[in-house]
Homo-oligomer: A and B are copies of this chain.
Amino acid sequence: MRDDNAKTSADTRSRILDAAEVLFMEHGFDGTSMRMITGSAGVNLAAVNYHFGTKELLIQEVFRRRLTDLNNARLVVLDQMEAEAGGAPLKPSRIVDAFFGTALRMAADVEGGGHTFMCLLGRTYTEPNEFVRKFLAEEYAECVERFLSALYRALPEVERKEILWRFHFMMGAMSYAIAGTDALQLVTGKFDDEHPSRLAPRLMSFLLGGLRAPLADFGSNP
């Protein structure tokens, strides 16, 4: 940092994105006004519209800049594992780690903002706002398809629909584990003050237990 008051023009964009990310996480999209964002970022109100056009486009850019990296990181790990395996199916635990572990490692990065972003992302999966959900779905499509395919091959004896459901359940458990910890904290009287990096091993063993659980009997009573 060269000077407290030096706001280079290139910086303005990033300052807005950083401020928006935190405020969206704390107050939601509708609960965060442009004035809050520009005030927190220390830039002029008109700067948001100049750099991003509209508030909706700003929201998209907040997600895009981190989500691209996250999903690329996931795919890099998967590519590498599949190349090493040379056509043989992978171990389910390794697939789960490549997808969920990578996200948890991002969530453990408190200082770089990864934690803030993963909290925001977790909340946004169930976001009412339709354009956000659609945007997320598109950003995720390729990556999710790749991981589901890997799981299908890793667990050929399990019905595909069942794997799909369990992937969904795992997403839910992870999102809450990251975004919703505050909530239960209020109820039960805290998880002490554990650093987010402590979460990963606990969650991973829970996810794998759920994925490997014996199948229920669905045929009985419709």
Contacts and interface: CB of A to CB of B under 8 A. Distances in A.
Contacts of A191: 161, 164-165
Place the interface of chain A in its size category: 35 or more
Contacts of A122: 126
Given A30-B31, A169-B206, A176-B176, A126 B183 contact: yes
A128 B31 contact: yes
Interface in A181-204: 181-184, 186-188, 191-192, 198, 201-204
Contacts of A173: 169-170, 172-173, 176, 210
A145 B141 CA distance: 40
Interface string A5-44: 0000000000000000000011110110000000000000
Contact of A182 (B133, B164, B186): B133
A137 B187 contact: yes
Q: Is the interface of A mostly helix, strand, loop or mixed?
A: helix
Given A205-B215, A213-B205, A137 B183 contact: yes
Which A-B residue pairs are the 10 nearest by beta carbons? Answer: A209-B213, A172-B176, A30-B30, A137-B186, A210-B210, A201-B216, A28-B128, A205-B216, A206-B210, A173-B173
8 contacts: A28-B28, A125-B183, A144-B188, A175-B180, A202-B218, A205-B216, A208-B213, A209-B211
Interface of A: 25-28, 30-31, 122-123, 125-129, 133-134, 136-137, 140-141, 144-145, 148, 161-162, 164-177, 179-184, 186-188, 191-192, 198, 201-218
